[in-house]
């Protein structure tokens, strides 16, 4: 019965390309005996939309011949980051002349920011990982002629698959987790801690970001996410923390032995 309901949930186009694992996790949050099947389907879709497809639009997906600026400005999440991309990537990468491998986990459409790396003179190979298959296909189409940009349609809840992706390639490895941790925690409490504990030793540094103000109203948030800050402080080497635009960024690495 549960399998049939999940199939029905995914029949709606916006959810059709989400990983099975993610849909199952959301369904488990909703699946209680006192709810009807119709309520379970509706409530699961509502939560999926809030976490995964809130910024997905037909206009974004249908127009494929625009430049990268257009896409970044069309998506609400990247629109507010757009004026700061050059400064942000300079802060993260610094003056390194080395080859950098970026793993952007839960990338959304942040792959369209790749030209900013080139603009700043960085030698970057970019790997985007995203659960919303439509966004993966869109970016693959845009960068189909680039050997330095690739995308994977995967769930961040599949640690083994993420492990496999991150271990590939050479050079300095940096993981981006921009506005991702909150969504992970909605589906599985403390999953972020398990995820970071496994992931951080595989790379040179990790960059988390959190929204500091509402995208719509621009009102400042008062939640400081002490739980994840304390976890990072206790378990990793804090490299830098700064605010830029509407986001707070925390850069950290594996703790020195």
- Model pLDDT for residues 75-104, shown as the tens digit of each residue: 777 888 999 999 999 999 987 778 999 999
Task: Quote the pTM value.
Answer: 0.92
Res. 170 pLDDT band, cuts 50 70 90: confident
Predicted local distance difference test score (pLDDT) of residue 110: 96
Reply yes or no on whether the pLDDT at 242 is more than 80: yes
For residue 211, which of 200, 225, 197, 199 has the smallest C-alpha distance? 225
Res. 256 pLDDT band, cuts 50 70 90: confident
Tell me what the mean pLDDT of segment 174-198 comes to.
95
Predicted local distance difference test score (pLDDT) of residue 217: 46
Predicted local distance difference test score (pLDDT) of residue 64: 59
Tell me what the mean pLDDT of segment 223-245 comes to.
91
Q: Which residue is listed with tokens 């739980």?
A: 227
Reply yes or no on whether the pLDDT at 249 is more than 60: yes
Average pLDDT, the chain: 90
Predicted local distance difference test score (pLDDT) of residue 37: 94
Predicted local distance difference test score (pLDDT) of residue 69: 86
Predicted local distance difference test score (pLDDT) of residue 70: 85
Q: 124 with 148: CB under 8 angstroms?
A: yes
């Amino acid at each position: 019965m549960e399998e049939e309901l999940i199939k029905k949930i995914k029949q709606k186009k916006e959810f059709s390309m989400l990983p099975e694992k993610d849909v199952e996790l959301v369904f488990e949050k909703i699946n209680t005996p006192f709810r009807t099947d119709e309520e379970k389907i509706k409530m699961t879709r509502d939560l999926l939309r809030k976490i995964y497809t809130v910024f997905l639009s037909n206009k974004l997906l249908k127009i494929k011949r625009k430049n990268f600026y257009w896409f970044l400005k069309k998506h609400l999440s990247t629109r507010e980051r757009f004026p700061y991309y050059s400064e942000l990537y300079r802060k993260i990468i610094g003056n390194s002349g080395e080859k950098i491998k970026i793993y952007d986990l839960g990338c959304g459409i942040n792959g369209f920011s790749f030209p900013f790396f080139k603009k700043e003179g960085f030698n970057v190979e970019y790997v985007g990982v995203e659960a919303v298959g439509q966004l993966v296909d869109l970016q693959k189409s845009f960068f189909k002629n680039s050997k330095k940009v690739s995308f994977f349609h995967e769930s961040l809840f599949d640690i083994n698959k993420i492990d496999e992706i991150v271990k590939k390639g050479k050079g300095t490895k940096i993981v981006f987790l921009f506005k991702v941790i909150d969504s992970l925690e909605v589906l599985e409490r403390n999953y972020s801690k398990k995820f970071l504990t496994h992931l951080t030793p595989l790379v040179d540094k990790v960059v988390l970001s959190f929204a500091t103000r509402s995208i719509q109203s621009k009102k400042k948030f008062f939640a400081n996410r002490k739980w994840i800050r304390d976890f990072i402080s206790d378990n990793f080497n804090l490299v830098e923390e700064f605010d830029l635009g509407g986001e707070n960024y925390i850069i950290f690495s594996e703790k020195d032995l």
